[in-house]
C-alpha cells in the first residue's frame, strides 16, 4: 500500500488497516460531504473472472466520490480473446484511467501487473492468492461487531483456495487475533500462508470439526468451497456440502457470535440464519462501499 498499490494483505500494517477503517467510518457517518471529492477521476475495472460485489461496490464507491468508471467488460468481448497479454492490457488501460482494479484467475497476476503501471492498482482477487480489499471490509465489519482486540475467529471452509481467507488470516496476525482454521484435510491452508502467519507471530490451530471450538468464537467466518479452482470435479464432490451452518449448529455457539461470509454462498449457511442476530454477511457486503471509498480516497 505504501507504493500506492494494494496487492496483498501481507503488506498491510496494523496502522494501515486502522487508517483505512477510521477513514471508512468517517465517510459512512457523513457520505454527503464526499460527493464531489474526486470529481473527474476515472477508475478502470478489469475483471477477468466473475464478480458481483467487488465490481459493483468499487463502481459505486468511485461514483459516490464524484468520479466515474471505465469497465473492460467481459473477457470474451475484449482483446484478451485475441491473445493480448495482461502486461499489454494494463499498460493500455493505464492511459485511460487514474487507478485500476484488477481481478484475474492467476495467482500473482496483480503483483506482475503492478510492475507495468504507475497508477494505483488494487488486487481484487488473483486466483487462489489474495483479496486484500475484501479483508479491509471484513475487518471493518468485525470491528463494528466485536472489536478487533483479542478477538477469537474461526475460519471455516475452503482454506486452500479461498483468497479471502489468505488475506484475512494474514491481516489478523497484526491484531494478535486467536484463529481457528476449520476445513477438510484436503483444503487446509497452503504452506506459504501458514508460514506467513507463523512468521508474523500467529499460531495456526487446525481442526476438521467446528464443534470443539465453536463456543470459543467471537466470529465465525464461513467460506464457499471454491469449485472453480479444483483441478478435478471428483475432488470437489468429496468435500462439497461438508459444512453447513444452521440453527442447530448455532445452538452450541455463544449468543453474541457474529457469522460472516464474503459471499456468494452456495449452501454453507442455511437461509434460516439470515434473520438471526448472528448474521452479519449482508451488512458486510454493504460495508464494501464506504471501505472502498476510503481506500480509493487514500490511494488517489
Residues in touch with ligand NCD (CB under 6 A): 53-54, 125, 131, 134, 163-164, 224, 262-263
**Closest approach of Cβ 53 to ligand NCD, in Å?**
5
Active site residue 188: no
CB-wise, 134 or 287, nearer to ligand NCD? Answer: 134
CB-wise, 94 or 131, nearer to ligand NCD? Answer: 131
User: Among the options 64, 103, 180, 265, which is catalytic?
Assistant: 103
User: Among the options 38, 41, 54, 55, which is catalytic?
Assistant: 54
CB-wise, 67 or 262, nearer to ligand NCD? Answer: 262
**Closest approach of Cβ 226 to ligand NCD, in Å?**
6
**Closest approach of Cβ 58 to ligand NCD, in Å?**
11
Distance, in Å, from the CA atom of 33 to the CA atom of 157, rounded to the nearest integer, reads 40
Active site residue 41: no
* Non-local CB neighbours of 229 within 8 Å, separated by 6+ positions: 127, 128, 161
Distance, in Å, from the CA atom of 291 to the CA atom of 206, rounded to the nearest integer, reads 30
Backbone angles phi, psi at 269, to 5 degrees: -130, 120
Active site residue 103: yes
CB-wise, 262 or 290, nearer to ligand NCD? Answer: 262
**Closest approach of Cβ 56 to ligand NCD, in Å?**
11
64 grid coordinates: 459516490
| DSSP labels, 170-202 | HHHHTTT-EEEEE--GGGPPPHHHHHHHHHTT-
**Do residues 178 and 213 make contact, with C-beta atoms less than 8 angstroms apart?**
no
**Do residues 260 and 282 make contact, with C-beta atoms less than 8 angstroms apart?**
no
**Do residues 290 and 28 make contact, with C-beta atoms less than 8 angstroms apart?**
yes
User: Among the options 38, 64, 104, 131, which is catalytic?
Assistant: 131
In this structure, how many other beta carbons lie within 10 angstroms of the beta carbon of residue 164? 27
CB-wise, 101 or 250, nearer to ligand NCD? Answer: 101
User: Among the options 23, 37, 53, 229, which is catalytic?
Assistant: 53
Distance, in Å, from the CA atom of 215 to the CA atom of 106, rounded to the nearest integer, reads 37
Active site residue 111: no
**Closest approach of Cβ 178 to ligand NCD, in Å?**
23
∠ CA 194-199-201, rounded to 5°:
100
CB-wise, 134 or 146, nearer to ligand NCD? Answer: 134
Active site residue 53: yes
**Closest approach of Cβ 99 to ligand NCD, in Å?**
18
**Do residues 183 and 159 make contact, with C-beta atoms less than 8 angstroms apart?**
yes
Distance, in Å, from the CA atom of 80 to the CA atom of 228, rounded to the nearest integer, reads 20
Catalytically annotated residues? 53-54, 82, 103, 131
Amino acid at each position: 500500500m505504501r507504493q500506492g498499490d494494494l496487492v496483498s494483505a501481507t503488506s498491510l500494517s496494523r496502522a494501515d488497516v486502522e487508517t483505512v477503517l477510521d477513514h471508512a467510518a468517517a465517510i459512512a457517518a457523513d457520505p454527503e460531504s464526499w460527493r464531489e471529492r474526486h470529481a473527474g477521476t476515472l477508475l478502470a475495472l478489469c475483471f477477468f473472472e466473475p464478480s458481483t460485489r467487488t465490481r459493483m461496490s468499487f463502481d459505486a464507491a468511485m461514483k459516490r466520490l464524484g468520479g466515474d468508471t471505465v469497465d473492460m467488460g467481459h473477457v470474451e468481448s475484449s482483446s484478451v480473446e485475441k491473445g493480448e497479454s495482461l502486461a499489454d492490457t494494463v499498460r493500455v488501460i493505464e492511459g485511460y484511467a487514474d487507478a485500476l482494479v484488477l481481478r484475474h484467475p492467476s495467482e500473482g497476476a496483480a503483483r506482475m501487473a503492478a510492475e507495468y503501471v504507475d497508477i494505483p492498482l488494487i488486487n481484487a482477487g488473483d486466483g487462489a492468492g489474495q483479496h486484500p480489499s475484501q479483508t479491509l471490509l471484513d475487518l471493518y465489519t468485525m470491528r463494528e461487531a466485536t472489536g478487533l482486540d483479542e478477538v477469537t475467529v474461526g475460519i471455516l471452509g475452503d482454506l486452500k483456495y479461498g483468497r479471502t481467507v489468505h488475506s484475512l488470516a494474514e491481516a489478523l496476525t497484526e491484531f494478535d487475533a486467536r484463529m481457528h482454521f476449520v476445513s477438510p484435510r484436503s483444503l487446509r491452508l497452503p504452506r506459504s500462508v501458514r508460514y506467513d502467519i507463523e512468521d508474523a507471530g500467529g499460531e495456526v490451530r487446525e481442526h476438521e470439526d467446528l464443534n470443539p471450538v465453536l463456543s470459543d468464537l467471537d466470529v465465525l467466518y464461513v467460506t464457499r468451497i471454491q469449485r472453480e479452482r479444483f483441478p478435478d470435479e471428483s475432488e470437489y464432490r468429496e468435500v462439497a456440502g461438508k459444512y453447513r451452518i444452521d440453527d442447530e449448529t448455532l445452538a452450541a455457539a455463544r449468543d453474541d457470535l457474529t457469522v460472516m461470509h464474503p459471499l456468494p454462498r452456495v449452501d454453507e449457511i442455511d437461509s434460516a440464519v439470515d434473520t438471526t442476530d448472528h448474521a452479519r454477511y449482508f451488512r458486510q457486503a454493504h460495508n464494501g462501499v464506504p471501505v472502498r471509498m476510503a481506500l480509493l480516497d487514500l490511494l488517489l
